[in-house]
Structure 1
Amino acid sequence: MDTAAHKAADRLLEVYRTGEPIDPLTPDHPDASIELAYRIQQLQVEQWTLAGDVVKGHKVGLASRAIQRQMGVDQPDFGHLTASMFHLEHQPIPAGRFLQPRIEPEVAFVLGRPLAGPGVTAAEAARAVDFVLPALEIVDSRIRDWKIGIFDTIADNASSGGVILGSRPVSLGDVDLRLIGCTLHIGGELTATGAGGAVLGSPLNALVWLANTVGPLGVTLEPGHVVLPGSMTRAFPVAAGDSVVANISGLGSVTAVLGGKDEK
């Protein structure tokens, strides 16, 4: 398995260097096991950290029915968030570092305590959260034309691209994550509306799922780390020059500005 994993990981890493997407990985892996896909993901994370990047959190992908329908999958997945993926709101984000970006509005959990599964309950997950922030996630795919299945997106670090966090921390006890609503504006136009309940019933459930999924792999969610639980709407394409604003009830707003295509 490891030979196949290294070969696939090298293909994906090459995309970051060349900017040229590749064909789906699934046809080259007839078994297409979830275990192999996560091994491919982990090999890339190891290369990034060896090069000096730092893991700053995790994301849960494919958590809402809207996203699952859009991507043709039926289960969540997770990926790693590294320091190089985080961008300041209102500041131009180099669009050239993305291949085929889409954007999603989310609630970001910032942990104040370690969280290690298996067996984590919703109560323990809530206790581990220091505060929440409004967030936008830029998802991207190294697979040509987003022709992905669950194996492809997991191997491709859950199609991670970038993270923009709002700047107003809110206590978890001050909001009901199931009931919060959001609006997503791209270029000043209302593009979508959504609700926290679209994310596995509550974004907190996604945090529980993540802790219990990575725990058996020997991973602890660390204090200070950011967890993105999944999008409240479908993902929408964005391009250089776009300004995106998510307004989330009880949390405020977060703005992402994509800079020039030639900037990396």
Structure 2
Amino acid sequence: MKPADIERWSEALAPQRLIGGTVPDPPGPISLEAGYLLAAKGADTLGSPAGWKIGATSAGAMEFLKVSEPIMGRLFSQRIWHDGERADLSGDRPAEAEPEIAFLLAHPLEAGDDPLAAIGEARAAAEIVRPSHDEPFRLGAGFIVADNAAGLGALIGPPIPLGRLSEPETIAVTIEVRGGGRCTGSADAVLGNPLEALRWLAARLGRIPAGSWVLSGAMARAIPLDSPAGEGELTLDAGEFGKARLAY
């Protein structure tokens, strides 16, 4: 495989991600670092940068992907949704949703600094994911990170008091598709505490700017958003903290 071949193949990734399309197999294996380079090259066409998403935040997920640490992708402001909004999720295959904890940074977070001190808001959230290939796991972690770690967008839900992050096992988020699937996740499923995912990201990047959104990782397995286009509704229920809904 020549570098030019993979470059040509990767030019289709971002356009297909925007329309929910499908790319063919790459012309050869993609290493993890090569995947990150390809993702960075295509990022400008995906929208206005809004932050980061973190994936593979459990020992089982890392083992499944054959990686030694979490993975990351980007968030874009055009696909960060709030309660009552509508998202266009049309595409070749249904998108999926995962319950998460999202952070909005009030201050820059440098590698090695206390992540809690940088957070302005913690929110219950649902990440919307969809790979650009029918068999992303067969293609490996390098393909997955090149494909923005399957990240499509996020529903930002109700605020969670920062003090509750010291007891992540008490934070539960349920997501449910009207007439479809339902799952509940606990925040301690994310590296023991979502703050640890934020700490990892700062170490990986060196610095996370103020104003960034960060999705800390899936708290439960994804559920399909398989309602007909224009007829679906995803409900996020964070119990005592409140709810949020996204039409699609």
Q: For residue 202 of structure 1, report the CA deviation from its aligned partner.
A: 0.8
* Residue pair 2:57, 2:197 contacting (<8 A) in 1 also: yes
Q: Quick one: structure 1 residues 17 and 183, their matched pair in 2 at CA, closer, same or farther if it must change by over 3 Å?
A: closer
The normalised TM-score by structure 1 is 0.80
1:255 equivalent in structure 2: 245
Alignment of 1:1-264 (within 5 A): 3=4, 6-16=7-17, 19-25=20-26, 28-30=27-29, 32-48=30-46, 53-65=47-59, 72-74=65-67, 75-96=69-90, 99-117=93-111, 120-121=112-113, 124-147=114-137, 148-166=139-157, 168-176=158-166, 178-179=168-169, 180-187=171-178, 191-215=182-206, 220-239=207-226, 240=229, 241-258=231-248
Query: What letter is aligned with 2:42?
Result: Q
How far apart in 2 are the matches of 1:204 and 1:176? Answer: 9
How far apart in 1 are the matches of 2:247 and 2:118? Answer: 31
After superposition, the C-alpha distances for 1:85-133 in whole angstroms (9 at most, x for unaligned) are 112322221222674311011111010100122xx25xx1010001111
1:261 equivalent in structure 2: none
Q: Quick one: structure 1 residues 222 and 17, their matched pair in 2 at CA, closer, same or farther if it must change by over 3 Å?
A: closer
Q: Quick one: structure 1 residues 82 and 125, their matched pair in 2 at CA, closer, same or farther if it must change by over 3 Å?
A: same
Q: For residue 13 of structure 1, report the CA deviation from its aligned partner.
A: 2.7
Report SS of the residue matched to 2:10: helix
Query: What letter is aligned with 1:13?
Result: A
The normalised TM-score by structure 2 is 0.85
* Residue pair 1:5, 1:39 contacting (<8 A) in 2 also: no
Report SS of the residue matched to 1:95: coil
177-186 vs 226-235, greater mean Cα deviation = 177-186
Q: For residue 14 of structure 1, report the CA deviation from its aligned partner.
A: 3.9
* Residue pair 1:183, 1:193 contacting (<8 A) in 2 also: yes
How far apart in 1 are the matches of 2:181 and 2:223? Answer: 12
Q: Quick one: structure 1 residues 251 and 150, their matched pair in 2 at CA, closer, same or farther if it must change by over 3 Å?
A: farther
* Residue pair 2:22, 2:92 contacting (<8 A) in 1 also: no
* Residue pair 2:101, 2:216 contacting (<8 A) in 1 also: yes
192-201 vs 174-183, greater mean Cα deviation = 174-183
Aligned structure 1 segments of 4 or more residues deviating by more than 6 angstroms: none
**RMSD of aligned alpha carbons:** 2.5
Query: What letter is aligned with 2:162?
Result: L
Identity of aligned residues (%): 26
Q: For residue 7 of structure 1, report the CA deviation from its aligned partner.
A: 2.3
Unpaired runs of 5+ in structure 2? none
How far apart in 2 are the matches of 1:237 and 1:162? Answer: 14
How far apart in 2 are the matches of 1:47 and 1:226? Answer: 19
